[in-house]
Structure 1
Amino acid sequence: MERDSMEYDVVIVGAGPAGLAAACRIRQLNPEVSVCVIEKGSEVGAHILSGAVLEPSALNELFPDWKERGAPLHTEVKGDDIYVLKDAEKASRVPNLFVPETMHNDGNYIISLGNLCRWLAEQAEALEVEIFPGFAASEVLYHEDGSVKGIATGDMGIGLNGEQKDSYTPGMELHARYTLFAEGCRGHLGKQLIEKFRLDEGKDPQHYGIGIKELWKIPADKHQQGLVVHSAGWPLDESGSFGGGFLYHLEDNQVAVGLVTDLSYSNPHVSPFDEFQRYKHHPVISQYLEGGERISYGARAIVKGGLQSQPKMTFPGGMLIGDDAGTLNFAKIKGTHTAMKSGMIAAETVVDAIAADRSSDELSDYAERYRASWAWKELHKQRNFGPAQHKWGNILGSAYAFIDINIFKGKLPWTLSDKTPDHATLKPAADCKKIDYPKPDGKLSFDKLSSVFISNTNHEEDQPVHLTLKDSEVPINHNLPVYDEPAQRYCPAGVYEVIEAEDGKRFQINAQNCVHCKTCDIKDPTQNIVWVTPEGAGGPNYPNM
C-alpha cells in the first residue's frame, strides 16, 4: 500500500528534553513555522528515564516563568553526600573540599524527567506544536540529491512471520524542510545518519554506561527531601568495573536509587543488573530503603564520551541534537540542561534558515553557534573527566578531575582520549573471574522478571522481533565459547537466554521484555545485535521516572 504523507517545516524525532525544547523555541521565535514531534512511547514521558538532578539553566532561558507555569520542579537540592564504598560494609564520606566542583548541586532540583517532558509537551501544544505519541520513526527519507527529506513511521499490523495481518496499516511519511533527530542515547536513526554522512570521522568512538534505576516509597522517618547521595567504589570495583551509584530524595517520601555501570568493562561475567541489586544492600543505601516499597524499575544507556566523541551535528536537511549527538556532561552526571540547550540552538538556526528561504541545505552555522554557547564551553571544561575515569579508575580519575576542573578550570593544555570502543573491551570468559551474585531477598534485591513487570513493559507479541541479528549463528558459535554469551548478563531485562534444547544449545530472544535501553546494540562484542524500532507505543511505560 502506498504511504500517505504530511508536510511540515520542521519534523522532530523524539519527545525528550532536546526535542521538546527545540519545538517550543521554534514556535516562540516564529509562530508561522509548522512543527511536528514524533514519539515512539505510548505517551510523552513513557520512555523517559533519568536520575535525575536538573540544572535549570536551559529551562530558565526557555521559560523564565516556569514556576508560574507549574513546572514539576518541587524539590530543591538541600544536601550533597558523596561516599567511597570500600566494601560491602565500609564507606568513607568525601569532604566537600575535595569534591570536583561539577558534583556540587547548589541551585539544582531533584525531578522526574518523565514528568518534566510531559510538562514541556503541554507548553509545546499550547504553542500549537503537533505531537504524535505512539508512532515510531523507523526510516529516514532522502531527496534525490541525498539530503534528508524527513522520516517514515513504521508499518502497523505486521505479524511475527513478516506477513500483513487484518489490522495492517502502512506507515506515514512526514516530509520537512529540516528534520531534527532527538532520539536520545544510541538513537536508531541517528546511528544510521552518523554512518551515512560519516559524522564521527576523526572522533573518538562514543562511550556509554548503563543506568539502572528504581523508584521507592520509604518510611517518613527515613526520608530527607532534597538530599542527594552519590557513591563510587563497591560493588563495581570488585569486578574491575567503573561507574557509581546514586540515591535522590524526592517529594512524597519517594527516593530514586540507581547504579551506572560503565560499559567499558572487560569481564564478560559482569551483570550490571546484579551489581545494582548488590549495591542496595550497602548500609549507606539500605538505611533509607529498609521498610520501604519498590514502585517502579527501568534501565537506559547513557552517552558519556563527551566532546572527544561528539559527532558532527549537522548534515544536509537536518541535525542531531541532545543525546543523539552525545551532549551529556558525564562529569556532572547531568545531560538535560545541555540537551535542551542544543535543541534551542538548533531551533534558532532553523528559524533563521527558513526566514532566509534556505531549504534542505546543511546548516553549518549551527556549529559556530553551538561552540559559542555555554553548553559547549561547559563540556570543553570538563572534557577529560570520562577518559580519566577509563584510564585510572574512579578514585584516581576523580582525583585528576579535581585538579583539572577545580584548580585549572579545565584549561590544562591537553585533551585525553580513549580510542577503544566499549564493545571491544571484553576479555575471553576463560581469562576472567566468575562472579557469584547472591540470590535476591525480595526485600531490597529482586530478580529481572519481577523488575520488568513493574516497568509496565509491553509489546504486541505477534510482530517482527525488533532485536535483530546480522548472523544468527554468532551467539552460539562464537560469543558463547569465547565470552560465555554476555548478552545473558548485560541485558537488564532478561531478553537474551541460552537454552538447552534436544538438538543442542540455542539463543532465545524474549523481545517482549525489552525496556529499550540499547545496551545490547552497544556492548555486543561482535556488533551482531542491531536494535530496530518495534511497533509504536511498545516498550516501557514509566510513571514518575
Structure 2
Amino acid sequence: MSRDVMEYDVLIVGAGPAGLSAAIRLKQLSQANNQELSVCVLEKGAEVGSHIFSGAVLDPKALQELFPDWQALGAPLHTPVNQDTFVVLGEEKAWPLPAWSLPPLMRNHGNYIISLGEVCRWLAGQAEALGVEIYTGFSAQSPSYDAQGRMSGVITGDMGLDKQGQPTANYTPGIEIRAKYTLVAEGTRGSLTKQLEARYGLRAASSPAKYGIGFKEVWRVKPEHHQKGLVAHTLGWPLDASTGGGGFVYHHGEHLVSVGYVVHLDYRNPYVSPFDVFQTYKTHPKLKALLQGGQRLSYGARAISEGGVQSLPEMVFPGGVLLGCSAGLVNVPKIKGTHYAMKSGMLAAESVFEGIVEGSPEVLTSYPQALRASWVWQELFAVRNVKPYLSRWGTWAGTLLGGIEMWLASWDIRLPWTLKHNAADHATLAEASQSRQPVYAKPDGVLTFDKLSSVSLCNISHDDQQPCHLKLAVADRAVRVNLPRFAGPEQYYCPAGVYEFVEQAGEKILQINAQNCIHCKTCDIKDPTQNITWVPPEGGSGPNYVSQ
C-alpha cells in the first residue's frame, strides 16, 4: 500500500511552546509581507497539550514579543508571582534563605504561575486563527531525505499494526509530509532529534548531553493552606550531598498547588529511585503540613535537558533546525525553558522565512547567530557552569560556586572559563556492589503513593495490541549485564513501573509493561548500556494531561 504525500512550505514537529511560536511567527511574517506560506504542525498527542504536564513558572518576555497584546487576547496567565522563597531542607528542619542572597536571575518577580498545557492550547488557537494547520495524533516516526541527503520532511507512524508489527485489518500506512524546511520541536530527547544528530553529526563538537527527571503532582489543598502566587524552591533532603536535585511548590488557581521534584540523572547509586525520592520529599514536615487534608489530582514525569550551552548540538542541518528542548535550551538553576523555547521558535521562523523569500537554504545559519545575539544566550551563558559545579563538587560546594558566578554575572563580570561535562548520564552509575540501597517512605495512599496508582492519574491510552515502543538493542543484555552489575537500574529509575525482572521457566527476564509508559524517556537516557531506545508509539497514544 503506497503512502499518501502532503506538501507544505514549512513543517513543524511538535505543538509545544517552541513549535507553536515558530508557526505563529511564520504566519505573522507572511501576512505582513503579503507572502503565501503553508505551515503544518504535527503533534503526537491526542490533543494539543495532552503530553505537556507542567504547573510551570513562565517569564512572559517571549510572549510579549510574539503578542504585545497578549493580555487583551486572553492568554491564560492568571497567577502572577507575588512571593518567592528558597529553602534548604534537612530531614526535619527547614532554613529559608534571605531574599537578598539570591542572584537576581533566580528571582521570579514579573513571572506567572501557569498551566503550560493550557498556554499551548491557547497558542494553538492563535496559530489556527492565522491559518496554521495542526494535526494531532500523528507521530513523526522517521525523517525523509531527498537525493542530496537534505531532510525533506517526515514519515508518520503506521497505524493498525499488531504486537509483532504486522498489519491488521485496520492497517493504515503513515503519511509522508514533505516541506521546504522542517523545524523539529519535539521536546527533550526526541526520537527524531536522535536520528538527525546521528546522521548529521550534530553533537560532534559539544559536551555530552545532560538530563534530569522532573516529577509533578497537582493537589487541591485546604483554603487555609493556599497562598496564591507563592513560588518556593527547595534544596537538600531527601537527596544526599552527592546527588543533584531539588524541589518546587507553586500555588496557583483555585486552591491548587503544583508540588514537584527534579533529580539529576548523573547520579551514581544504581538503587536510586527518583520516583521514591519525590514521594519521600512530601513527608517533610513543611510539605506534609501543606498537603494535609488535600487531594491529589494528577501526576506526571518528564525528562529535562540540563546540559546548558556547552551541550548544545549544532542546531542547523540540511533542510531544517532544532528548537527549544530538542536543542536543550533550559536554565538549570531557574528550572525554566519555556520562554527560551518560544524565542528560539520565533528566531528560527525569521530565518526560515528569509530563506523562503530569498530561495536560499543556506540562510538558516542566521538562526544560531541570532540566538547567540539574543537574551536567550545571555541568560544561558551566565549559568553555564552551574551544572558542572554541581556534578563535580556536589550540592553544597556546587551551589556556592554557582551562586558566586551568578552574582558576578549580575554585575556584568564574566568568568573566562566554561567547564565541560565529563560524562553522559548513562556512564555515571557505580557497581551495585559499591552501593547501598536508600530507604524511602512507604506508600500510605494519602500523602505518598506507589507507581501504579500514580500512573492511573495520567489517563494513559496505549492499545495493548500495538508494537512495543521501547526497543531493546539486545534482548538479554539487561539480564546478562544490568542486573548483575547494576542491580537492574531500569526497575528503579522508571517512574511508571514499566520495567520488571521476573522469572520465566526458572530464568530471569526483563518484562516491559509498555502500556504503563508515560513518555518521560528516562530509560533512553539512563540505561547504562544504552540498550533501550524510546520511539513514538501509535499516534495519540500515551498520557493525556488535558484536564490539568
* Aligned-residue offset at 1:418: 1.3
* Aligned-residue offset at 1:391: 1.6
- Partner letter of residue 9 of structure 1? D
Which of 132-141 and 98-107 deviates more?
Answer: 98-107
Q: Mapping of 1:43-192 within 5 angstroms?
A: 43-87=47-91, 89-192=92-195
Say whether 1:457 aligns with 2:460. yes
- Between the aligned partners of 1:67 and 1:108, the Cα distance in structure 2 is 14
2:351–2:363: 8 Å Cα contact kept in structure 1?
Answer: no
- Between the aligned partners of 1:331 and 1:64, the Cα distance in structure 2 is 28
Match of 1:287 in 2: 289
Match of 1:406 in 2: 407
- Between the aligned partners of 1:172 and 1:222, the Cα distance in structure 2 is 51
2:209–2:306: 8 Å Cα contact kept in structure 1?
Answer: yes
* Aligned-residue offset at 1:413: 1.0
1:248–1:256: 8 Å Cα contact kept in structure 2?
Answer: yes
- Between the aligned partners of 2:452 and 2:105, the Cα distance in structure 1 is 36
Say whether 1:337 aligns with 2:342. no
1:100–1:401: 8 Å Cα contact kept in structure 2?
Answer: no
- Between the aligned partners of 1:66 and 1:408, the Cα distance in structure 2 is 31
1:294-329 deviations in Å (ceiling 9; x for gaps): 000000000010000000100110000000001111
Q: Mapping of 1:455-534 within 5 angstroms?
A: 455-534=458-537
Match of 1:265 in 2: 267
Root mean square deviation of aligned Cα: 1.1
1:53-97 deviations in Å (ceiling 9; x for gaps): 00001000001111111111000001011111122x111111112
1:101–1:402: 8 Å Cα contact kept in structure 2?
Answer: no
1:181-235 deviations in Å (ceiling 9; x for gaps): 0000001100111111111112100100000110100111110000011001000
* Aligned-residue offset at 1:362: 6.5
1:84–1:233: 8 Å Cα contact kept in structure 2?
Answer: yes
2:305–2:330: 8 Å Cα contact kept in structure 1?
Answer: yes
1:185–1:323: 8 Å Cα contact kept in structure 2?
Answer: yes
- Between the aligned partners of 1:302 and 1:188, the Cα distance in structure 2 is 15
- Between the aligned partners of 2:270 and 2:160, the Cα distance in structure 1 is 38
* Aligned-residue offset at 1:454: 0.5
1:220-259 deviations in Å (ceiling 9; x for gaps): 1110000011001000117x41100001001110000000
Match of 1:8 in 2: 8
* Aligned-residue offset at 1:117: 0.4
1:4-45 deviations in Å (ceiling 9; x for gaps): 101100000000000000000000000321100000000000
Q: Mapping of 1:185-264 within 5 angstroms?
A: 185-237=188-240, 240-264=242-266
- Between the aligned partners of 1:103 and 1:209, the Cα distance in structure 2 is 19
5+ residue gaps, structure 1: none
1:138–1:532: 8 Å Cα contact kept in structure 2?
Answer: yes
1:208–1:304: 8 Å Cα contact kept in structure 2?
Answer: yes
2:382–2:409: 8 Å Cα contact kept in structure 1?
Answer: no
SS of the residue aligned with 1:52?
Answer: strand
Q: 1:173 to 1:361 in 2, by over 3 A?
A: farther
Q: 1:402 to 1:544 in 2, by over 3 A?
A: farther
- Between the aligned partners of 2:295 and 2:333, the Cα distance in structure 1 is 31
- Between the aligned partners of 1:437 and 1:456, the Cα distance in structure 2 is 26
Match of 1:379 in 2: 380
SS of the residue aligned with 1:189?
Answer: helix
Query: How many pairs does the alignment contain?
Result: 542
Say whether 1:421 aligns with 2:424. yes
2:354–2:363: 8 Å Cα contact kept in structure 1?
Answer: no
TM-score of the pair, normalised by structure 1: 0.98
SS of the residue aligned with 2:149?
Answer: coil
* Aligned-residue offset at 1:544: 5.1
Match of 2:19 in 1: 19
- Between the aligned partners of 1:424 and 1:534, the Cα distance in structure 2 is 27
2:49–2:545: 8 Å Cα contact kept in structure 1?
Answer: yes
Match of 1:326 in 2: 328
2:243–2:395: 8 Å Cα contact kept in structure 1?
Answer: no
Which of 507-516 and 362-371 deviates more?
Answer: 362-371
- Between the aligned partners of 2:212 and 2:99, the Cα distance in structure 1 is 26
SS of the residue aligned with 1:540?
Answer: coil
- Between the aligned partners of 2:480 and 2:9, the Cα distance in structure 1 is 49
- Between the aligned partners of 2:377 and 2:235, the Cα distance in structure 1 is 27
- Between the aligned partners of 2:122 and 2:281, the Cα distance in structure 1 is 32
Which of 316-325 and 393-402 deviates more?
Answer: 393-402
Say whether 1:310 aligns with 2:307. no
* Aligned-residue offset at 1:364: 1.4
- Partner letter of residue 96 of structure 1? A
1:464-505 deviations in Å (ceiling 9; x for gaps): 100000001101011000001100010000000000223211
1:417-448 deviations in Å (ceiling 9; x for gaps): 21211000000111001123232111110000
- Between the aligned partners of 2:425 and 2:404, the Cα distance in structure 1 is 27
Say whether 1:39 aligns with 2:40. no
1:112–1:544: 8 Å Cα contact kept in structure 2?
Answer: no
SS of the residue aligned with 2:9?
Answer: strand
- Between the aligned partners of 2:314 and 2:473, the Cα distance in structure 1 is 27
1:99-121 deviations in Å (ceiling 9; x for gaps): 23222100000001011000000
* Aligned-residue offset at 1:366: 1.5
1:262-298 deviations in Å (ceiling 9; x for gaps): 0000000000000000000111212211100000000
2:24–2:130: 8 Å Cα contact kept in structure 1?
Answer: yes
Q: Which runs of 4+ in 1 moved over 4 A?
A: none
SS of the residue aligned with 2:348?
Answer: helix
* Aligned-residue offset at 1:408: 4.0
- Partner letter of residue 314 of structure 1? V
- Between the aligned partners of 1:193 and 1:179, the Cα distance in structure 2 is 12
TM-score of the pair, normalised by structure 2: 0.97
* Aligned-residue offset at 1:51: 4.0
1:43–1:133: 8 Å Cα contact kept in structure 2?
Answer: yes
5+ residue gaps, structure 2: none
- Between the aligned partners of 2:282 and 2:482, the Cα distance in structure 1 is 31
SS of the residue aligned with 2:123?
Answer: helix
> What is the percentage of aligned positions where both structures have the same residue?
55
Match of 1:277 in 2: 279
1:124-168 deviations in Å (ceiling 9; x for gaps): 000010000100000100011100000011000000022111100
2:228–2:252: 8 Å Cα contact kept in structure 1?
Answer: yes
Match of 1:296 in 2: 298
1:295–1:454: 8 Å Cα contact kept in structure 2?
Answer: yes
* Aligned-residue offset at 1:384: 1.1
